[in-house]
Structure 1
């Protein structure tokens, strides 16, 4: 019985994969691709500016080393 369920699942998976098709990137109009690229570039630029304002840049650490009574403990 378990073998029958296994083969049923395999066949169901193969049928579902065979029925689905991927859409090629060329099916998008050039305007849509350009708009997506511009939007993504703008989001990345704003994110980098926000990160620089909040943290003072990428190369500066934002945390302090732990202090306390026993600094050799950490």
Structure 2
């Protein structure tokens, strides 16, 4: 049982080491071209702008366009909430 557990731990560590050495991002960010960074920034800004437009359209669609034309009578009725009537 101990040997099996030890093998599982060893195997998990080997998998972890294997995948940790095969990262897709460069280790030094200065090696990456500035054009890639700015183009990804533009695409992020464009997608954020598009998401904002969709959200604003949904908010506008959910708003009610009913505007009451009735005016308030000038304040609350003092007798409305009194205990003695």
Bucket of the pairwise TM-score, normalised by the shorter protein: 0.5 to 0.7
Q: CA deviation at 1:25?
A: 2.3
Structure 2 partner of 1:37: 41
Greater helix share, structure number:
1
Unaligned runs of 5+ in 2: 63-85
Structure with bigger gyration radius: 2
Instruction: Give the TM-score taking structure 1 as reference length.
Output: 0.55
User: Per chain length, whose mean CA-contact separation is higher, i.e. which structure has more relative contact order (CA < 8 Å, sep 6+)?
Assistant: 1
Q: How many residues matched?
A: 58
Unaligned runs of 5+ in 1: 57-61, 63-74
Is 1:52 aligned with 2:56?
Answer: yes
Q: CA deviation at 1:40?
A: 0.4
